[in-house]
Amino acid sequence: MIPAWLRGFQAGRLTSRPVGVLGVALVVGALTIALGAVPVGGGTGHAARNAGAVALTFDDGLNGDYTLGVARALEARGAAGTFFVVGHTLAEQPEVARALVAHGHLLANHSSDHEKPSALDPLYRKLADGQAQFAATVGQCPRFYRAPHGVYTALSWLAVGRAGVQVVNWDVEVRDWDATDPKELAQRVLAKVEPGSIVLLHDGRDGKPGRDRTVLVQAMPLILDGLQARGLRAVRLDELLGTPGTLERCP
Ligand SMILES: [Zn+2]
């Protein structure tokens, strides 16, 4: 006996239920893959150009003594930084996260791991997973978010909206991870920085512990002195942008 849906198909009607369900599933699947794979731009790249300050931001930690070395260099000159932390490092180095907060630095979300958004994770749970890791470690959730590798998709933007976070990117990027000379690294930053700039630096690499960031730590005083010579203070992102740096409550 020919099933009812096949009879419908044979008769040229495309609305029989199994065919319709299959069609919808195929369309949803294709859209998910498309939306999950296409990079989408946006986010804050700098503050007003008449600002007397810049924000130095540090991605890819926590990274132990390198993260703390960057923080100490900032503190020695009365400055503060914003650390875009890879979530899984919070459980591994909670004392580093708490030291940053205690010394007046700002923590921000750099996802729970350092992978690009995957079409196989259309809800992009890694942002919310990261927030949960901040809540568990320091009792608060960051307001600022920056995607690993700076890659956003239509679906990860939906996750940004659900999480109530603000995407903050950068306008100064100097490939600091391949620098071998602190003085030359400082010159790279100072050649590009402008009032209101958001500077991307890396106190870690991909959230992997122990990556050597000595050159950055040694460049920090030179960068800060150069900024000061131009009348620019290094402040946290919340101060530069005039918005709170943490959410009122964790979602
Ligand atoms: Zn990163």
3-state SS class at 18: helix
Q: What distance in angstroms lies between residue 28's CA and the mean position of ligand 1's atoms?
A: 30
Q: What distance in angstroms lies between residue 145's CA and the mean position of ligand 1's atoms?
A: 11
pLDDT score for 37? 62
Residues surrounding ion ligand 1 at CB below 5 Å: 59-60
Q: Cα 7 vs. chain centroid, distance in angstroms?
A: 54
CATH number of 53-241: 3.20.20.370
Q: What distance in angstroms lies between residue 148's CA and the mean position of ligand 1's atoms?
A: 5
d(CA 164, CA 225): 36
pLDDT score for 88? 97
Cβ-contact 58, 189 below 8 angstroms: no
Q: What distance in angstroms lies between residue 25's CA and the mean position of ligand 1's atoms?
A: 34
Mean pLDDT of the chain: 90
Domain boundaries, the chain: 4-37, 53-241
Residue ranges of the chain with pLDDT lower than 50? 5-6, 8-12
- Enumerate residues 6+ apart whose C-beta is below 8 A from 24: none
Q: How far is CA 200 from CA 33, 37, 150, 210, 247, in A?
A: 30, 24, 11, 20, 23
pLDDT score for 210? 92
Residues belonging to the active site: 59, 202
Q: Encode pLDDT of 77-94 as tens digits.
A: 999 999 999 999 999 999
pLDDT score for 8? 44
Classify burial at 197, counting beta carbons within 10 Å of its beta carbon; exposed 0-12, middle 13-18, buried 19 or more.
buried
Q: What distance in angstroms lies between residue 129's CA and the mean position of ligand 1's atoms?
A: 16
pLDDT score for 251? 81
